[in-house]
Amino acid sequence: MVEVASFVHKADFGYFVAIAAPDAEEDELRTMFDWGNWVFPYDDAFDNGELKVDLDGVQRMMDELLTVMNNETTFRPTDPLVVAFKSI
């Protein structure tokens, strides 16, 4: 766990989110920053590097996060992390 924490602290997650969701409002970005810093250190997809090679998957996740934050109540996310995000 120490290795993962060290890696995450070196990463610029804020920059990553800003690039992945360039049209997000400031409060939406802040929510995604906080959520990502909370979830990703424990996420197998991040730890195993799958998100680094699945840019379409990253874009889908970011789109789903923004849809949830826009309070589209009929939206049903497909990504398990976004499902958890919506429930919170």
The band of 1, judged by pLDDT with boundaries at 50, 70 and 90, is very low
Q: What is the mean pLDDT of residues 23-40?
A: 81
pTM: 0.50
Q: What number of residues does the chain have?
A: 88
Which tops the pLDDT comparison, 80 or 39?
80
Instruction: Give CA torsion, residues 25, 68, 45, 13, to 10 deg.
Output: 10
Q: pLDDT tens, 43-80?
A: 454 445 666 677 788 788 888 888 988 888 788 888 88
Q: How many other C-beta atoms are found inside a 10 Å radius of the C-beta of residue 83?
A: 13
The CA R_g of the chain, rounded to the nearest whole Å, is 13
